[in-house]
Structure 1
Amino acid sequence: MKKIFNYILIGLVGLGTSCSKFDEINSNPEATEKVTSAMLATRIILNLANQSTQKGFMMPYLLNKNIVWTEFVESYQYNGFGAGGLSFASINDAHFMVQFAGTEKLAKSYEGLMYFARASKFFEATMDLGDIPYKDALKGETDKNYFPKYDNQKDVFLGILNELELADKAFEAGETFTGDPLYNGSVSKWRKLVNSYTLNVLIQLSKKESDPDLNIKSRFQQILSNKPIFVSNADNYQLIRSDKSGQTYPFYKVGNNFTIYPIVSSEIIDRLKTRGDRRLFYYANPSAKRIKDGKLASDFDSYVGIDPSLEYDKVTAIKNSTDYSKLNDRYTEIATGEPTQQLSYSQLCFVIAEAAARGWVTDQSVDWYKKGVAASMQFIADNTPNTVQFHHDMPLTTSYIDTHVVGLGTTFPVGKEAQIEEIITQKYLASYLQSEFATYYDYRRTGYPAWKINPASSLNSEAPSKIPVRWKYPSSEFNYNTENVDEAVKRQFGGVDDINQLMWILK
């Protein structure tokens, strides 16, 4: 021990007498010493677009009833909610992109990205929690405001819509920029995303369609008539995966110990079977038991989902019977998988279809509805190898897609509410393992699809016959921003931070 100490002491003395040489030896001549707008843009965009990996990737899809988890009881599967997140750390330096840009037109492009990133993060937070800090947020460094007040949700949404409008204007005045892994810096593509994203925000405000300050219908009409929006799957807000480390599909099997646990939900399988929809053969594998009993993998009846509301012991009993459908192999066996979306052209089509059903625009609802289904099917076909392993001899060919969509048009409901239910249901089916919590937001807003709820298995102890409608505020807010979060809880929920009480947009 003494000898080791002496070596350490000699080393410390050496460092003290030759610090400059140490710095020289430990400098990387190829590493940048200056932060650039492009570097900041890449980090911010990936933070916005990326999703968790392995088990974490599946968690939103338990809440969305896409998947049943068989490892053990998971809260989201059984409607158990805790605290949400309220951190804007990923965008606290977004304004530096503008400062470091170099030219006026580049500064406009990065300004557009800054506004979009801000709007996205505030949208996610308020959708989860209700009232959040907005006007005072991100002012710790500039104004030394470490304890931001909470804005009411209406003002937050007005701010979000304003920032999205500013983003569109900035991109319109900008030019191609670097550091963009989504659209290679194309400002025209970013304008499509910003305006499509705005339509998605507006549809989430459907219960406030008559509010004169929000002016939802007029905003929607103006964008649809005058602004660039998504026109095909090529515009999707998505990350295209590769076979490189750190860029593979989030549930790819290599290094993933959780591939044995997910089973496809009956909420997905039963709806696809009822509609004779071949997406079933791309989402799931057939039941091992039914194949053993002589059924074909191309038979709709070979696919069996598990009701995600079943008590856990019943789920495990079904798993032991082998009469259930696992994930399709394409989710685990292909390194590149499929691109992971935050907002797709297909989903946008359903947003517009719903707006049309509500009378916000004069477009025919059924036309956008059919476009949404066709885009979903084409996306799957384009991003899946054309082999029996992945489509079980039931491929999504162009002729099948065309025929299926025509048939959907003839059976499209007549009444407004029935149309909305069918639109939201198809949006749900098109969002399988995509867009994280998006279909949960639609469910709590519209009640569609009508997911099964089992009080006997529910972890929502205060209201076991309901799915919670929000997350609680994080404990850090109660510890460090007590006065402001307490005031927000009192203003919204009578002083109780309750997962079952309605936030403003849901009233």
Structure 2
Amino acid sequence: MKTTFYKFSTAIIAFSVALTSCTKNFTEVNTDPNNTPHTLPQQLLAPALASTLNYNLLRNRNVNNELMQVTVDMGDGQGEVFRYDIRDNVSDYLYNGWFTDLTNYKDLYKTASDSLTLNTSYMGISQICQAWVYSMLTDTYGDVPYFHSNEGRDSLNFTPAFDRQKDIYTDIFKRLDAADTLLKKGTAIVPNSDPVYGGDVSKWRKLGNSLYLRLLLRISGKQDVTADVIKQIQTRIADTTNRPIMTSNAESAILKWTGGALVSPYVSVRAQDFRAPAICSFFIDHLSAWSSPFIDIPTYGTNGVCRWGIAPAAGNFIGVPSGYSPGTGAPKGAYFYATDQTVNSAVPLTLQTDPNTGIIMTYAELNFIMAECIAKGWISGKAGDYYNAGIQNCITQWIPTWSKKITDYTSAADITWDDAATLNAKMEMIHLQKYYALFLTDMEQWFEYRRTGHPVLPKGTGLQNGGVMPARLKYPVYIQSTNPTNYKAAVASQGTDAISTQVWWQKP
């Protein structure tokens, strides 16, 4: 009996020792040393940026460029954007895509603020990206969900209220201020996680402050905020030591399509589809008249091809007038050629494969912002200097080897700055050049035209919407059934859900 008891006791002890051995360092033993159970912020940034720029570039191509007379996707049927005839389903793509990406940027912030993965720089970058995407959303649609958007997963709020654009802008500026404070700490990030600045946090800070100026200018025409906006612009420009902004093309925010997971969305467009839209006469005629380096054939191409990948259809760079009535269009002239066309292989001419098309904001744009603020008398300086710098940096952004003296170029092109011109004439000069500086930059050409009325675009006889540039895109149709109460409240507050309804900053 005693023997049996001792054997049983020994077995219990042995089992206990074995159990202790099995559970000792359990977490460490059962954790893959080559991976982490926690999502890291450096894993989230590049995919989110690439996704947003995919949406931006594709709608830049078939909405912005058609409205802003860069291209004319020739056709006589319904739904031709260049005639201001926009199908309802066009709205869904950006609305769905941008809100999806906001979830990604919010996840980046949440992960970066976790005690295990704390990184204030990723938090600041997330705030800049959220401000950027929210600004595009509200500038495209007007009032949109903001303060309670993207709460479906965590709070089960699938029917968020639509917030007023004025309130959205007020909070966007708070986001950008918060981002600047976070980035000021200078916490290092993983260089290869950042396809825009390669981990240079100081450049992200400059982007945030430059974006702040873009958005201040966007709402500057709204009478109830104009005085405050001017004061803010003056304060920020006077203190760029504490609020640094871009100072060169090297600080432009451009995602490089380097391959792998970072492939331009244009690559997925069929070659015949990519070259199908004609280049608009408004876009190409100015470049031709100026002898622009973008169509400097002897230097940048053979077989009649230019740096932006524009090819002539019949030996000459002749565009198609936009807004023509059905059945009256001119023959197709110049077009953006695709990857299957024979070109000078020494120069990456096609926009389909160009690694530099992932544009968020450029130094050239900032120069034109400064030129406008000086021309309006809001800040001191020489508007002509910034005007020239905007032109020069637009060109060298795409053609780094271009070295012609800028005043010689503007003189020969007859686009020399005129200090004696009227403010309206100065605005036309600035915004005609800014139009080219904003090439491929999401919907910015359209946003700026709606803000200023510049550059002046010719009006074709076939335009719909009363011949007036669309002021917004309509909300996706499904919103009416999935969020009817808040949809109706938004329409009652903002106005009819139509492309003719102006958003808050467009109204006097």
Confirm or deny a common fold (TM above 0.5): yes
Distance in structure 1 (CA, Å) of the matches to 2:50 and 2:352: 22
Q: Deviations over 1:324-366 (max 9, x none)?
A: 2233665538733543312111111111111222222112221
**Equivalent residues of 1:204, 1:445 under 8 A apart:** yes
Q: Which moved more, 1:186-195 or 1:136-145?
A: 136-145
Which structure 2 residues correspond to residues 402-421 of structure 1 after superposition, within 5 A? 402-405=407-410, 408-411=415-418, 414-421=421-428
Indicate whether 1:489 and 2:491 are aligned: yes
Which structure 2 residues correspond to residues 75-474 of structure 1 after superposition, within 5 A? 75-83=80-88, 84=91, 85-87=94-96, 88-101=99-112, 106-178=118-190, 179-208=193-222, 211=225, 215-226=228-239, 227-242=243-258, 244=259, 247-252=262-267, 256-281=271-296, 282-283=307-308, 285=310, 287-289=312-314, 291=315, 302-315=316-329, 318-319=331-332, 324-327=333-336, 330-332=348-350, 335-336=353-354, 338-382=356-400, 397-399=402-404, 401-405=406-410, 408-411=415-418, 414-432=421-439, 434-455=440-461, 457-458=462-463, 460=464, 463-474=465-476
**Equivalent residues of 2:75, 2:326 under 8 A apart:** no
Q: Which moved more, 1:367-376 or 1:223-232?
A: 223-232
**Equivalent residues of 1:95, 1:111 under 8 A apart:** no
Q: Deviations over 1:67-99 (max 9, x none)?
A: 122477563222123443444222225444345
Query: What letter matches 2:436 in structure 1?
Result: L
1:398 is paired with a residue of what secondary structure?
coil
Alpha-carbon spacing, 1:419–1:184, altered in 2? closer, same or farther (3 Å) = same
Query: What letter matches 1:61 in structure 2?
Result: N
**Equivalent residues of 1:177, 1:184 under 8 A apart:** no
1:53 is displaced (CA, Å) by 6.8
Distance in structure 2 (CA, Å) of the matches to 1:150 and 1:363: 41
Q: Which moved more, 1:39-48 or 1:407-416?
A: 407-416
1:209 is displaced (CA, Å) by 5.7
Query: What letter matches 1:367 in structure 2?
Result: D
Alpha-carbon spacing, 1:454–1:334, altered in 2? closer, same or farther (3 Å) = closer
1:188 is displaced (CA, Å) by 0.3
Distance in structure 2 (CA, Å) of the matches to 1:454 and 1:500: 18
Indicate whether 1:46 and 2:50 are aligned: yes
Equivalent position of 2:7 in the other structure? none
Equivalent position of 2:3 in the other structure? none
Alpha-carbon spacing, 1:53–1:414, altered in 2? closer, same or farther (3 Å) = closer
Q: Which moved more, 1:188-197 or 1:132-141?
A: 132-141
1:52 is displaced (CA, Å) by 6.1
Distance in structure 1 (CA, Å) of the matches to 2:170 and 2:450: 21
Query: What letter matches 2:205 in structure 1?
Result: R
Equivalent position of 1:69 in the other structure? 73
Distance in structure 2 (CA, Å) of the matches to 1:222 and 1:123: 22
Q: Deviations over 1:251-285 (max 9, x none)?
A: 45995331331322111122223434333443465
**Equivalent residues of 1:49, 1:237 under 8 A apart:** no
Q: Which moved more, 1:215-224 or 1:44-53?
A: 44-53
1:113 is paired with a residue of what secondary structure?
helix
Give TM-score, length-normalised by structure 2: 0.78
Equivalent position of 1:295 in the other structure? none
**Equivalent residues of 2:159, 2:486 under 8 A apart:** yes
Query: What letter matches 1:153 in structure 2?
Result: Q
**Equivalent residues of 2:44, 2:108 under 8 A apart:** yes
1:418 is displaced (CA, Å) by 1.0
Distance in structure 2 (CA, Å) of the matches to 1:270 and 1:81: 26
Distance in structure 2 (CA, Å) of the matches to 1:97 and 1:368: 36
Equivalent position of 2:503 in the other structure? 503
**Equivalent residues of 2:220, 2:230 under 8 A apart:** no
Q: Deviations over 1:400-434 (max 9, x none)?
A: 545214664454662111111111111112233x1
Alpha-carbon spacing, 1:146–1:203, altered in 2? closer, same or farther (3 Å) = same
Distance in structure 2 (CA, Å) of the matches to 1:94 and 1:283: 32
**Equivalent residues of 2:141, 2:472 under 8 A apart:** yes
**Equivalent residues of 2:322, 2:460 under 8 A apart:** no
Coordinate RMSD, CA, aligned: 3.0
**Equivalent residues of 1:249, 1:337 under 8 A apart:** yes
Q: Which moved more, 1:167-176 or 1:189-198?
A: 167-176
Alpha-carbon spacing, 1:246–1:57, altered in 2? closer, same or farther (3 Å) = farther
Alpha-carbon spacing, 1:251–1:90, altered in 2? closer, same or farther (3 Å) = closer
| Matched residues, number | 442
1:97 is paired with a residue of what secondary structure?
helix
Query: What letter matches 1:429 in structure 2?
Result: Y
Q: Which runs of 5+ in 2 are unaligned?
A: 1-31, 297-306, 338-342
Alpha-carbon spacing, 1:259–1:206, altered in 2? closer, same or farther (3 Å) = same
Distance in structure 2 (CA, Å) of the matches to 1:206 and 1:399: 35
1:248 is displaced (CA, Å) by 4.6
Query: What letter matches 2:427 in structure 1?
Result: I
**Equivalent residues of 1:183, 1:189 under 8 A apart:** yes
**Equivalent residues of 2:72, 2:279 under 8 A apart:** yes
Q: Which runs of 5+ in 1 are unaligned?
A: 1-27, 292-301, 383-395
